[in-house]
């Protein structure tokens, strides 16, 4: 288990006092922004920017062309099929595109009752990831004229060729890395030959922000189309884009940060009947502020559970629902599926850890073969292994035609590039730096085992990792005694939210802290609450999450501890109380 940590104070040069005076904020808040790479000129906008600061989608390569084709198809009443993916991003992006097309069709053809557009989401086991030949044949049989992909399609080169040979108009919207091969020290990209390809990761795309999720790309298209062809709000689908951005663990920087910050406000007061039902099932009653935490750990997992345990069509039917009673039934079913997913993940994780603990030494890249594990859980288990051992982790399961794997990475190890080095092993793979998926063909159980072993050997050749790579690095913003923690500071720091990937919550360090009067709370004993006193004698209420009894035994040992903490606000019945949340100690 990874217990080794290194703490680093982030030190960006700057006159924080002057920055603070210019903006009327604390030097601490100015320093946190500087640590995030925000220039003094951009700090005010960082705290206040709204949708007016979003970029024009037309700056993306092929954006104009795709929207022109889509508008023409709508005007000609051609049948359009949206093909998404089975995770939150795929569900939300397919919802955005289909309903945006419905909105535009209704505005252009108000006399028509039937709208010739639908969606198709692959089944994780039967269809694998993304579009395939079978789905193209189904579209042709259903009289579809145009296919538009979302959160997938960038890797489906052969499928694109096949669809266009069959006479289909084929549009790709995606956010994943463009497949490539290195040849004679030159990188050659394999962009699918679609009628239009909108992906901000394209090397020839001049868009100012490349880290949108699939629903973020779909949202940008919807903004332009709704503004151009309807009288509806151009930000109608901002809430779905925000949810997907968080659930897909995208960086909460730049444009994403605005999408999430403004979208969470809209999600809090959602008018989507199905989403309202899901929030109610999660005890997030009307008006409860929806946070990044809720999207990532409460709402998102319940949507993902449909694609993992059953079919993501269930999640889409929830979002499409116009009946309160029907929506509540679906939401309850999704809640039950998520409970099943939690238990199955726990069992799979325990088996994987037992296999790793039995090894004499850990590989640089952990490869665990769980042939009987449901393939939908592989990514979750890989993520848990990565967190526990702080190594890149790949969990592989048996599939109908071979094996499938899901990978999660650590800082400094680009998973997609590593897989690309051994691309000859795979019949299909894709992803990005921190997460990826792969498939390998195998006809028998013995061949499957051999494939996994070959993969394990080759992925662990020349990894570029060393012992230092497996030391978890915790970066904090400043040494801050408890006397500097105040309601005013907490309010300022809240303006830097939402926090997440690449925009972490501000962390502070304090030395010589003692803990007393602690209690362990929560149904499972995972919350420790105590009084924390620093060397100046200032006391604050502190909390920490984990195994509460063990934390209490460690921190209340009579000694002094160095801690890293977050400033948090506990709100209850309209009252705000400042606390610190202990993130690490030694």
- Could you read off the pLDDT of 107-122 as tens digits, one per residue? 999 999 999 999 999 9
Q: Rounded to two decimals, what is the model's pTM?
A: 0.91
| Integer Cα distance of 56 and 3 in angstroms | 45
Alpha helices in 81-198, H assignment, sequence order: 88-108, 133-141, 157-165
CB count within 10 Å of CB 210 equals 15
Q: What CATH number has the domain spanning 53-235?
A: 3.90.1640.30
Distances (CA, A) of 278 to 260, 306, 311, 502, 559: 19, 13, 17, 29, 46
- Give the pLDDT score at 320: 97
Distance, in Å, from the CA atom of 538 to the CA atom of 551, rounded to the nearest integer, reads: 21
Predicted confidence band of residue 3 (pLDDT cuts 50, 70, 90): low
Integer Cα distance of 104 and 230 in angstroms: 6
In terms of Cα–Cα distance, which of 288, 310, 311 is closest to 298? Answer: 288
For residue 573, the model assigns a pLDDT of 66
Three-class secondary structure of residue 150 per DSSP: coil
Q: Are strands 435-441 and 472-476 parallel, antiparallel or unpaired?
A: unpaired
DSSP 500: B
**Structure tokens that stand for 313 in this block:** 């069509």
Cα dihedral 321, 325, 331, 336 in deg (nearest 10): -140
Which of the following CATH numbers is that of domain 360-470: 3.30.70.260, 1.10.10.10, 3.40.30.10, 3.10.310.30?
3.10.310.30
Return the pLDDT at 558.
86
pLDDT at 267 over 50: yes
Q: What is the DSSP pairing of strand 80-83 with strand 146-149?
A: parallel
31-56 pLDDT tens trace: 999 999 999 999 999 999 999 999 99
Q: What is the pLDDT of residue 1?
A: 46
Architecture of domain 5-10+473-585: Beta Barrel (2.40)
CA–CA gap between residue 246 and residue 256 (Å, rounded): 9
Each domain of the chain, given as residue ranges in start order, spans 5-10+473-585, 53-235, 269-358, 360-470
pLDDT at 219 over 80: yes
Question: What is the residue whose two structure tokens read 């951009």?
Answer: 42
Mean pLDDT of 143-169: 97
Q: Which residues pair with 429 in a beta bridge?
A: 438
Q: Looking at the predicted structure, is the pLDDT value of residue 483 above 90? A: yes
Dump pLDDT digits (tens) for 400-443: 889 999 999 999 999 999 999 999 999 988 888 888 999 999 99
Quick one: average pLDDT of 6-27?
94
Tell me: pLDDT of 2 over 60.
no
Dihedral pair phi/psi, residue 57, rounded to 5° = -60, -25
Q: Please provide the size of the chain in residues.
A: 586
**Encoded tokens for 395:** 């969990």
> Mean pLDDT of all residues in the chain?
94
Burial per residue of 468-482, b for 16 or more beta-carbon CB atoms within 10 angstroms, e otherwise? ebbeeeeebbbebbb
Average pLDDT, stretch 204-216? 96
| pLDDT of 190 strictly over 80 | yes
Query: Per-residue pLDDT averaged across 229-247, rounded?
Result: 98
Mean pLDDT score, 161-188: 92
Q: Any idea which of 8-12, 194-198, 331-335 has the lowest mean pLDDT?
A: 8-12
490-535 pLDDT, tens per residue? 999 999 999 998 999 999 999 999 999 999 998 889 999 999 999 9
Give the whole-number percent of the chain exceeding pLDDT 90.
Answer: 87
Q: Which residues contact 314 (CB under 8 A, 6 or more apart)?
A: 306, 330, 333, 334, 337
pLDDT at residue 480, as a whole number:
97
């Amino acid at each position: 288990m990874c217990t080794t940590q290194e703490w680093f104070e982030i030190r960006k040069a700057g006159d924080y006092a002057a920055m603070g005076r210019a903006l009327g904020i604390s030097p601490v808040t100015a320093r946190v922004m500087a640590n995030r790479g925000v220039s003094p000129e951009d700090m005010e906008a960082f705290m206040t920017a709204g949708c007016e600061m979003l970029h024009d989608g037309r700056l993306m390569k092929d954006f104009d062309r795709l929207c022109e084709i889509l508008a023409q198809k709508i005007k000609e009443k051609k049948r359009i099929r949206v093909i998404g993916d089975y995770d939150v991003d795929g569900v939300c992006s397919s919802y955005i595109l289909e309903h945006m097309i419905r909105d535009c069709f209704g505005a252009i053809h108000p006399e028509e009752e039937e709208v010739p557009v639908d969606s198709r989401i692959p089944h994780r086991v039967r269809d694998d990831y993304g579009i395939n030949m079978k789905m193209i044949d189904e579209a042709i049989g259903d009289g579809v004229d145009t296919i538009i992909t979302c959160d997938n399609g960038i890797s489906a080169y052969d499928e694109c060729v096949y669809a266009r040979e069959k006479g289909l108009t084929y549009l790709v919207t995606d956010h994943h890395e463009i497949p490539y091969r290195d040849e004679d020290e030159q990188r050659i990209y394999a962009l699918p030959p679609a009628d239009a390809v909108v992906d901000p990761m394209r090397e020839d795309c001049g868009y100012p922000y490349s880290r949108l999720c699939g629903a973020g790309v779909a949202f940008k298209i919807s903004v332009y189309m709704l503004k151009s062809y309807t009288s509806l709000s151009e930000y109608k689908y901002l809430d779905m884009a925000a949810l997907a951005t968080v659930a897909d663990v995208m960086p909460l920087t730049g444009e994403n940060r605005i999408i999430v910050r403004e979208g969470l406000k809209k999600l809090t007061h959602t008018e989507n009947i199905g989403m309202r039902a899901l929030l109610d099932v999660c005890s997030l009653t009307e008006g409860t502020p929806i946070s990044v935490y809720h999207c990532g750990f409460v709402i998102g997992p319940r949507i993902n559970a449909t694609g993992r345990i059953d079919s993501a069509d269930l999640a889409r039917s929830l979002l499409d629902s116009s009946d309160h009673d029907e929506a509540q039934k679906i939401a309850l079913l999704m809640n039950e599926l998520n409970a099943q997913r939690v238990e199955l993940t726990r069992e799979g994780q325990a088996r994987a850890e037992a296999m790793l603990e039995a090894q004499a030494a850990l590989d640089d890249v952990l490869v665990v073969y769980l042939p009987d594990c449901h393939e939908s859980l592989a990514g979750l288990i890989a993520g848990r292994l990565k967190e526990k051992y702080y190594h890149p982790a790949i969990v592989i399961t048996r599939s109908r035609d071979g094996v499938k794997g899901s990978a999660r990475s650590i800082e400094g190890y680009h998973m997609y590039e590593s897989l690309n080095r051994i691309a000859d092993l795979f019949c299909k793979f894709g992803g990005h730096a921190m997460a990826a998926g792969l498939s390998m063909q195998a006809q028998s159980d013995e061949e499957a085992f051999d494939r996994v072993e070959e993969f394990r050997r080759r992925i662990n050749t020349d990894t570029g990792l060393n012992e230092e790579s497996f030391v978890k690095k915790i970066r904090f913003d400043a040494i801050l005694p408890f006397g500097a923690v105040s309601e005013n500071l907490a309010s300022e720091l809240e303006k830097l939210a939402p926090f997440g990937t690449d925009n972490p919550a501000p962390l502070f360090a304090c030395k010589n802290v003692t803990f007393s009067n602690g209690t362990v709370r929560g149904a499972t004993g995972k919350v420790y609450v105590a009084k924390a006193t620093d060397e100046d004698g200032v006391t604050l209420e502190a909390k920490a999450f984990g195994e509460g009894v063990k934390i209490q035994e460690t921190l209340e040992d009579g000694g002094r501890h160095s801690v890293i903490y977050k400033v948090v606000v506990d709100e209850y019945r309209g009252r705000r109380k400042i606390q610190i949340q202990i993130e690490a100690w030694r």
